[in-house]
């Protein structure tokens, strides 16, 4: 699970909130961050995902979409560094659930949005 200070952000997660945040900030957030978000999202939809992994993912995604951010996302470059750290930790913790199918779904969505 994520460290305790980040676990509280699970309550901020919602699918609608995630899509709204991505619609507003995807271009400024960068490819690497957006792919991490999408991989966590698609992993969260797996039927075999245990509760601890789902909690970890929702905590990380909740932090990403939360308005209570340690470093505001509107701050150029630095604004997403804290999000990247939290997302990277979450991905490391649930790495065994980020299989080729999850990666392909994330990449397909990214390609759809950015016409790549």
Sketch the domain layout of the chain as residue ranges.
4-114
- What pLDDT does 78 receive? 59
- What pLDDT does 93 receive? 96
CA dihedral 74, 76, 78, 83 (to 10 degrees): 40
- What pLDDT does 30 receive? 84
- What pLDDT does 114 receive? 85
CA dihedral 8, 10, 16, 17 (to 10 degrees): 30
- What pLDDT does 95 receive? 97
Contact at 8 Å (CB) between 29 and 52? no
pTM comes to 0.85
Length of the chain: 116
10-residue mean pLDDT series, the chain (116 residues)? 68 87 82 95 96 93 78 58 89 97 96 84
Tokens of 90: 């979450």
């Amino acid at each position: 699970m994520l460290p305790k200070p980040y676990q509280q952000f699970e309550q901020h997660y919602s699918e609608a909130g995630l899509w709204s945040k991505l619609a507003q900030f995807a271009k400024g957030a960068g490819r690497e961050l957006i792919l991490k978000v999408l991989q966590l999202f698609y992993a969260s939809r797996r039927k075999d995902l245990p509760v601890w992994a789902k909690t970890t993912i929702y905590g990380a995604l909740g932090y990403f979409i939360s308005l209570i951010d340690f470093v505001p996302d509107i701050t150029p470059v630095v604004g997403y560094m804290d999000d990247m750290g939290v997302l990277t930790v979450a991905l490391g913790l649930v790495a065994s659930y980020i299989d080729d199918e999850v990666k392909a779904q994330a990449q397909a969505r990214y390609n759809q949005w950015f016409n790549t």
